[in-house]
Amino acid sequence: MQVNKFDLILLDADGTLFDFDRAEDFALGRTFAHYGFSYDAEVRDSYRTINRRLWQDFDQGKIGKPELLTARFRRLLDQYGLAADAAACNNYYLEQLAAGSQLLDGALEVCRRLAGSCFLAIATNGVSGTQKSRLAQSAIRPYIRQIIVSEDAGFAKPHAGFFEYALRLCGQREKSRTIIVGDNLDADIAGGADFGIATCWYNPAGRPNDRCVACDYVIRSLYELPGLIFPADAL
């Protein structure tokens, strides 16, 4: 008889299940074309640098979500001397991003494999409407039983309030039977560890854990995940 170590698996969305880089690049290109602006790899990389820093500030509670969403385009437009309304740019971008449901390698197969024995839930700090739209269009939708978004929870990862909300929404009472899988050492791994649930760092690029954030498991491929959930088992 197969015995699983965890009943509830919280899965981060972007960079863990969804190929966010592809979706983001597509959405940015469409947005710049809509406003008649030139778009290339330099613009994309500038946006990613700005966006990453703002999300780090958000994860640390330094700024709110509405401020983040507008500020990233205001700073990008200012950097290139482009005239457009930052809030309108962001809204159009999010509309395009909502169509980006491309999955990372192994996401579909692993979700299908785990769904028969575990409660799978997405746990994300993304924009609620965008994330729910992407999931609805995705091939993994039949296997995901719940989606937890920071906007709905009232707290963002790594805050304990986010994880409390997630377990309550999923009907899970046992922290020891819960694991979070994600690519973000701060929001996913440190947040989960501080809350008292098991953690699995998805690290396909083999990045160093410079700050020595404690994590229970590290995987380079999603195909490794079933072997952690089902001892002596592999996909």
Nearby residues of 128 by Cβ (< 8 Å), 6 or more positions away: 149, 151, 152
Q: Around Cβ 195, how many Cβ atoms within 10 Å? A: 21
Strands (E), 47-175: 119-124, 146-149
What is the set of active-site residues?
12
Query: Phi and psi at residue 53, in whole multiples of 5°?
Result: -65, -40
Distance in angstroms (rounded) separating the CA atoms of residues 58 and 67: 9
The answer to whether the CB of 145 falls within 8 A of the CB of 114 is no
Strands (E), 63-197: 119-124, 146-149, 178-182
